[in-house]
Amino acid sequence: MKKILITTGGSGGHVIPSLSLYDSLKEDFEVHIVTDIRGSKYINNSYNYSLIDVPNILSNLFLIPYNLIKFCFSIIKSYRYLKMNNFNILISTGGYMSIPFSLASYLMKIKIFVFEPNSILGRANKLTLSFAKKIICYDENLKRIPEKHHKKIYLIKPLLRKEIYEYKKNFQKTLEDKKKILIIGGSQGAKFFDNFISRIIIKLSKNQNIKVLQQITDQKSRENLENLYKKNQIDHELFDFDDKLLIKAVKYDLAITRSGASAISELSYLNIPFVAIPFPYAKDNHQYHNAEYYKKKQCCWLIMQKDINENNFVKFLTDIFEDQNEYFSKKNNLIQLTKEDTWEKNKTRLHKIINEN
């Protein structure tokens, strides 16, 4: 049985797709994940994983020489780890902590694949791509990939958590009087959603009968929003990262969300139209490009955070609910886009590339 090591950075945007990849492969391969301490909060004990500390060389300009030395040691540590565990295949999902393992795998002649769930190639994956066999991705127009590597692109459908495929998709053809809004701030820049978007919701509640399911960033945010929504008599429910969000979310009409690859892929699969507000400080503006992919297919609305005005945004949401033609047009486009997506089809396609000589 082939042994596969999945390396992943420490953000939710890296780790969550890695878990879906792990679940797709675990029945037929021996799979292990390696991440850093930041990534461990997204992984439960049902996954085989290890923590490896890799320094971010550019985190502090004054410490670059010191971090460079530590980084070289991390390559040696990665080499030993790979050799001791006899891995046959490495899959890099990006993040600077993946680089030492990719370099060590290259030296050991271990087969390397790059997995890129975003619509723009990440920096670590771009470096690894030079000696990778293939890049597994969702977007045939993947941005920032050198032309000489285009032939390495291997397309699959967005890789979702297995449980998502078991949910009943949202095929509602009418909107009820009480409009249900899902708010997902993500792991980065969520304070904007806690503060600004909550004010939007309060203003919207003056002209619309609404219910809100909103992600919060911490206990203080939970308490503040709880008091705020109660004071304004808004039907609401708050959740954090660990809650089984999509069990409830599938019944919601509209999402206001950041545009991490996993979040908008899951919303799309469940046929929930969404307003994407990309995190403006994401590296390489990857959230914008993720949302742009769906906007071009007329499946979502895309608004830049800098362009949002409270009154205009309230009017924008009101128009979506009152003139529903555009809403159902986007919903129907989502239905068509994801109608053939299945767990087994994606799994088969992944296994095909893994088993190639």
- 282 with 213, same domain? yes
- 150 with 55, same domain? yes
- 137 with 212, same domain? no
- 193 with 249, same domain? yes
Q: Could you give the C-alpha distances from 180 to 42, 95, 234, in angstroms and in order? A: 27, 35, 11
**SS3 state at 33:** strand
Residue 89, domain CATH: 3.40.50.2000
- 201 with 314, same domain? yes
- 349 with 332, same domain? no
Residue 9 CB coordination number (10 Å): 25
For residues 176 and 185, give the distance between their C-alpha atoms in angstroms, rounded to a whole number: 25
Q: Which residues pair with 214 in a beta bridge?
A: 183, 238
* Nearest Cα to Cα of residue 20 among 182, 282, 335, 260: 260
- 240 with 136, same domain? no
- How many Å from the N-terminal Cα to the C-terminal Cα in the chain? 15
- 102 with 201, same domain? no
pLDDT of 195 reads: 83
Q: Which residues pair with 4 in a beta bridge?
A: 31, 89
- 177 with 317, same domain? yes
- 182 with 294, same domain? yes
pLDDT of 193 reads: 84
pTM (two decimals): 0.88
Q: Could you give the C-alpha distances from 288 to 174, 292, 296, in angstroms and in order? A: 30, 6, 12
pLDDT tens over the chain, length 357 residues: 899 999 998 777 788 889 999 999 999 999 999 998 888 888 888 899 998 877 665 666 676 676 677 778 888 999 999 999 999 999 999 888 889 999 999 999 999 999 999 999 998 899 999 999 999 999 999 999 999 999 999 999 998 888 888 888 999 999 999 999 999 887 665 778 888 899 999 999 999 999 999 988 778 888 889 999 999 999 999 887 654 566 678 889 999 999 989 889 999 999 999 999 999 887 778 999 999 999 999 999 999 999 999 999 999 999 999 999 999 999 999 999 998 878 898 899 999 999 986
- 169 with 151, same domain? no
Number of domains the chain is built from? 2
Containing structural domain, residue 97 = 3-160+342-354
- 70 with 135, same domain? yes
pLDDT of 63 reads: 67
For residues 354 and 356, give the distance between their C-alpha atoms in angstroms, rounded to a whole number: 6
